[in-house]
Structure 1
Amino acid sequence: MSVQDDLTAVERSLDALVQAVGKLQARIGGGLDVRRVRSDTDHLRESLALLKEGLAGAPPGRPAAADDEMVPIPDTPYNSALWTDAEDEGLGAKDRHAP
Structure 2
Amino acid sequence: MSVHDDITAVQRCLDDLTRSLSRLEHQLGRGGLEIRRVRLDAEHLRESVALLRETATAPAAPHRPDLVTISDTPYDISLWTDSDDEGLGARDRRAP
Q: What residue number does 2:68 align with?
A: 72
Identical counterparts, % of pairs: 43
TM-score norm. by structure 2 comes to 0.63
- In the TM superposition, residue 40 of structure 1 has moved relative to its aligned partner by 0.7
How many Å separate the matches in 2 of 1:42 and 1:16?
13
How many Å separate the matches in 1 of 2:11 and 2:78?
57
What CA RMSD, in Å, does the superposition of the two structures yield over aligned residues?
2.9
Could you tell me which runs of 5 or more consecutive residues in structure 2 were left unpaired when the two chains were aligned. Answer: 80-96
- Which of structures 1 and 2 has the bigger CA Rg? 2
How many Å separate the matches in 1 of 2:46 and 2:64?
28
Q: What residue number does 1:94 align with?
A: none
Regions of 4+ moved over 4 Å:
none
Q: Secondary structure of 1:10's partner?
A: helix
TM-score norm. by structure 1 comes to 0.61
Higher relative contact order, chain-length normalized (CA < 8 Å, sep 6+): 2
1:43 aligns with 2:44: yes
Q: What residue number does 1:84 align with?
A: none
- For 1:17-28, what aligned pairs fall within 5 Å after superposition? 17-28=17-28
How many Å separate the matches in 2 of 1:33 and 1:3?
33
Decide whether aligned partners of structure 1 residues 9 and 80 sit closer, same or farther in structure 2, where only a CA change above 3 A counts.
farther
